[in-house]
Amino acid sequence: MRSILEAPYITELVRTCSAMYAQGWDERNGGNISILLDEADLKGYLDVTKVLRRIPVGFKEPSLKGRYFLVTGTGKYFRNIEVDPAASLGIFRIADDAEAAELLWGYTDGGSFTSELPAHLMSHAARLSVDPDNRVVMHCHPDNLLAMTYVHDLDERAFTRTLWQMETECIMVFPEGINVLPWMPCGTNEIGEATADKMKTARLVVWAQHGIYSAGKDLDETFGLIETVEKAARIYMMTANLKIRQTLTDADLHQMEERFGIRAREGYLD
């Protein structure tokens, strides 16, 4: 068996966690990431017949039974994940009863998966139902996007249009727009269900006064979605109190659709 710490999904996740911390998106133990793995990904690294312990999930999602996940741990500081990934991360399989995680590796200090696991797993199920290539769910707390949720209308169309107007590339990166949830207590099945419902129509879901959820085919795409949104939010916060002399118009954004073969969310452009 090769060391699991050399597996590409571990090394890339550790690198991504450090990058997110450096961006200021994951203060203290804020934020979490989950990656859907195939059993083939574990071959040569783990014996999937050896279950270390069973951890209740707190809800039941039959569509995910037997699926494997790599997930950040509860209470883990992103800046320390590179120091001790075996304690900070865990790989588990959803049990046949779909009510528990069968831990195969990690959480070596006796810990567990993030408290936001319901939102992650429900989001995975939702994204897989519309795009089977989506394998990563990422949650963090970008500064400017959070600030924007205090001062901007939370209407999803208005919120999306403002971000599209802040930077030419935005409509290319997230043409389906951004969905928004009003503030809700975190770590509950209720916010997980609401997030998953929003994930059916967009890869980005803003939690007002809290953070953002992003889904993508890999860590680079998922990180890049948040990175683009956060930059657009920063430009908005820099200009919100200034006199706007020019901006990207709907006609401009339609030109982007034609030039790059993309299609903006229906009804979001005039």
Task: For residue range 126-139, list pLDDT tens digits in order.
Answer: 999 999 999 999 99
What average pLDDT score do residues 77-88 get?
96
DSSP assigned state of 91: E
State the chain's mean pLDDT as an integer. 97
Q: Which residues are catalytic?
A: 116
pLDDT for residue 27: 94
What is the DSSP track for 214-253?
EEESSHHHHHHHHHHHHHHHHHHHHHTTS-------HHHH
pLDDT for residue 267: 97
Q: Give the tens place of pLDDT for each residue, 192-251.
A: 999 999 999 999 999 999 999 999 999 999 999 999 999 999 999 999 999 999 999 999
Q: Hey, where are the domains in the chain?
A: 1-114, 116-270
Q: Give the tens place of pLDDT for each residue, 83-111.
A: 999 999 999 999 999 999 999 999 999 99
pLDDT for residue 1: 82
Query: How far is residue 175's CA from residue 169's CA, in Å, rounded to a whole number?
Result: 10
Q: Give the tens place of pLDDT for each residue, 45-69.
A: 999 999 999 999 988 999 999 999 9
Q: Which helix (H) or strand (E) holds 151?
A: helix 143-151
Q: Which CATH number fits domain 116-270: 3.40.50.150, 3.10.129.10, 3.40.225.10, 3.50.50.60?
A: 3.40.225.10
C-beta pairs of 157-164 under 8 Å, 24+ apart in sequence = 157/267, 157/268, 159/206, 160/265, 160/268, 161/268, 161/269, 162/236, 163/229, 163/232, 163/233, 163/236, 164/232, 164/248, 164/253, 164/264, 164/268
pLDDT above 70 covers what percent of the chain?
A: 100
Examine domains 1-114 and 116-270 and report if their fold is the same.
Answer: yes
pTM above 0.85, yes or no: yes
Topology of domain 1-114 in CATH is: L-fuculose-1-phosphate Aldolase (3.40.225)
